[in-house]
Amino acid sequence: MKIAIVCDVLGSENNGTTIAAMNLIRYLKAEGHEVRVLCADSDKKGLENYFVAPNRSFGKLLDKYVKKIGVTLSKKDEALVEKALDGVDYIHSMLPFALGKQAAQYARKHNIPISAGFHMQAENLTSYLKINELKFLNKIIYKYIYNKFYRYVDAIHFPTDFIRGVFESNIGVKTNGYVISNGVNAEVQRREVKKPEEFRDKFVISTTGRYAHEKSQDTLLKAVKYCKYKDYIQLILAGQGVKENYYKRLAAKLPVPPVMKFYSRSEIIDVLNYSDLYVHPAEMELEGIACLEAIMCGKLTIVSDSPLSATRRFAIDERCIFKTRNPKDLARVIDYWLEHPEEKRKAEQNYLEDAEKYRLADCMKKMGEMIEEVRAAKSGNK
């Protein structure tokens, strides 16, 4: 088949949506399909079967902010969209933005089967504006993207049951949805990695993700202050983002200076493997691949009980859950696992066994099956 993958946000593989897009692109190519990629990344110009739309400007201040959070957004470009999608057998759009909307319009006009991924929580947007507590506003956003985009696609890919439930409850519609995890690469696995010498006598707690309000790394930084063993805890905050300066101020108050840096893919797998514990404090998480990667490395993983996060469902029992944005409760959970090493080893094995269903190869196979089913259904309706 000739398949078009529409990526309003692509860029480097440092976020869940981009990683999901590139994994799907690589899988489809490996299966022998011709894959065209429609995106807005200037560094992809000249690459075979990449079609690059011009970037959208929101003015100097907003452009600077958008760049800082690592996002590139596109302008409408009908001629480019027609060129990219001409003659394709199938379209999959990653997001409900300008290119995705144009692709949906093109698909309807030419009766081409189209599916779309659901990789965006309304709460992610409103949290940047610090108005995420306004539930009615989140509902308005969900209804808006449904009415403007998702109602026009043949199927929706939801990475978790959690986000499918959130979306459908807000729009009041049962969708033609497929729940398929974005999956974790085979390279992410448990292996023996020696701690760096400077951490040899420390209990290493790691967390990964953008430094952003909804990721709530500040809760972890504050929690360590309340831990009985704070003089023994080495925090590693793997990532970068808009909250970096604030986090550095919090980090300066801890007896053991946390490590705050962006790691390469191979480096982060090493960090996860030599860590003693992984904490995913996010308040909002559509799936939480970073959390799944830690589990794949056999780490006991602590998550928040936030109703806006899918990662709560990864916890093997209540001892691995803390009250969202509550540093003292997180400190209690951390101290428990420090004091029960034998229970910790058992829990890590349980996590490993539970993680097998998130292997990338199986998840990509399910994505391929979704594409075949949607295409067959569309052909039957012609």
pLDDT in tens, 326-337: 999 999 999 999
SS3 289: helix
186-228 tens-digit pLDDT: 899 999 999 999 999 999 999 999 898 889 999 999 999 999 9
- Give the CATH architecture of domain 197-358: 3-Layer(aba) Sandwich (3.40)
Alpha-carbon span 368 to 63, nearest angstrom: 36
> Where along the chain do its domains lie?
2-183+359-381, 197-358
Mean pLDDT, rounded, for 338-354: 95
> Which residues have C-beta within 8 Å of that of residue 336, sequence separation ≥ 6?
319
321-322, strands of its sheet edge to edge = 259-261, 233-238, 203-208, 277-280, 301-304, 321-322
- The band of 133, judged by pLDDT with boundaries at 50, 70 and 90, is low
Q: Average pLDDT over the chain, rounded to whole?
A: 92
* One-letter amino acid of 245: N
DSSP state of 254: S
> For a pLDDT cut of 70, what percent of the chain falls above it?
92
- The band of 34, judged by pLDDT with boundaries at 50, 70 and 90, is very high
342: number of Cβ within 10 Å? 7
Say if residues 192 and 172 touch (Cβ distance below 8 Å). no
Q: Could you tell me the CA-to-CA distances from 295 to 213, 339, 340 in Å, in that order?
A: 23, 21, 19
Alpha-carbon span 128 to 120, nearest angstrom: 13
Residue 370, burial from CB neighbour count under 10 angstroms (0-12, 13-18, 19+): middle
Asked: is 2-183+359-381 a CATH 3.40.1190.20 domain? The reply is no
Whole-number pLDDT of residue 255: 97
Asked if the domains at 2-183+359-381 and 197-358 fall in one CATH topology, the answer is yes
Mean pLDDT, rounded, for 246-269: 95
Whole-number pLDDT of residue 15: 72
Mean pLDDT, rounded, for 271-292: 95
Say if residues 183 and 363 touch (Cβ distance below 8 Å). yes
Alpha-carbon span 213 to 223, nearest angstrom: 16
Alpha-carbon span 2 to 19, nearest angstrom: 21
68-80 tens-digit pLDDT: 555 567 777 889 9
Whole-number pLDDT of residue 28: 97
> Which residues have C-beta within 8 Å of that of residue 188, sequence separation ≥ 6?
269, 272, 293, 296, 297
Whole-number pLDDT of residue 64: 64
pLDDT at 59 over 80: no
